[in-house]
Structure 1
């Protein structure tokens, strides 16, 4: 499998969401995406891996596989699980530097923020922030040679 860039994956997500006529269909699609989420190992479903700022519990774990950051996650809420699944699809399996440089305009393009409750929209921002914080940490670790 050739390595596709974050931008390319984000465009694919935008195209998929464009196939649906209304937000009920898009929510159903997000729920389906949530079911395909790379599952976090039970030992990482701890407070240390909880994303702060989310109304629902969302756990995220990251590890380096060679030089790429791989994310796994879970959430107790089905819509939230779909949201984190979209973010992980966009950012997982990329170098920390690529994740840090990546824009998140695709979220606005699919209209996600405007169709979420204010608390879920804040949670979305917190999820993106957490994924980028993992990238910062692993980038720093790589640069220090640890």
Structure 2
């Protein structure tokens, strides 16, 4: 599997943990999701309807060698925020090609399927699909 180094490290961290500890780590990630810049409006961001909670994302791939990711997720949605934070920490600053090369089902390697519902995991897949689509649109790939 081809993953940018930061995302590969996150996958390794999760795969080394027992199920209860995976949930704890996911909740830790949720508290680390950075706020969107004050100049960015949530209304201008793309919604991710696959998520059970309202989440919005935006991608800036104008510099294809260092893509910037932005997420807006409510604090009362820690699972969704955790997924967004994993993607942010794992992919923000990666090249457009590195993001495009991430397998669409990489999140299965986090080992969360036994502790998180399939519906919630589908939300993470939706986030990644939208990130990849926006990168492709902005880079003409």
TM-score (norm 2): 0.81
Aligned residue for 2:32?
A: 36
Give how far 1:11 is off.
2.5
Give how far 1:122 is off.
1.8
Shift in CA distance, 89/121, structure 1 to aligned 2, threshold 3 Å: same
Q: Aligned equivalents of 1:47 and 1:135: distance in 2? A: 16
Q: Which of structures 1 and 2 has the bigger CA Rg?
A: 1
Which secondary structure state, in structure 1, belongs to the residue aligned with residue 50 of structure 2?
coil
1:117 aligns with 2:117: yes
Give how far 1:135 is off.
1.1
TM-score (norm 1): 0.78
Aligned length: 136
| Structure 1: gaps spanning 5 or more residues | none
Q: C-alpha offsets along residues 86-134 of structure 1, whole Å, 9 cap, x if unaligned?
A: 1122222122222112225542222124432132122121111111111
Q: Which moved more, 1:46-55 or 1:92-101?
A: 46-55
1:11 aligns with 2:8: yes
Is the 8 Å Cα contact of residues 44 and 61 (structure 1) preserved in structure 2?
no
CA RMSD, aligned part only? 2.3
Which secondary structure state, in structure 1, belongs to the residue aligned with residue 67 of structure 2?
strand
Which secondary structure state, in structure 2, belongs to the residue aligned with residue 62 of structure 1?
strand
1:82 aligns with 2:87: no
Q: Aligned equivalents of 1:107 and 1:78: distance in 2? A: 17
Which secondary structure state, in structure 1, belongs to the residue aligned with residue 93 of structure 2?
coil
Which secondary structure state, in structure 2, belongs to the residue aligned with residue 115 of structure 1?
coil
Is the 8 Å Cα contact of residues 37 and 72 (structure 1) preserved in structure 2?
no
Shift in CA distance, 89/104, structure 1 to aligned 2, threshold 3 Å: farther
Query: Hey, which of these two has a bigger chunk of helix by percent?
Result: 1
Whose relative contact order is higher, 1 or 2, with alpha carbons under 8 Å and at least 6 apart? 2
After TM superposition, the structure 1 = structure 2 runs for residues 1-146 of structure 1, keeping only pairs within 5 Å, are: 6-21=3-18, 23-41=19-37, 43-46=40-43, 48-64=45-61, 66-67=63-64, 68-76=66-74, 77-104=77-104, 106-140=106-140
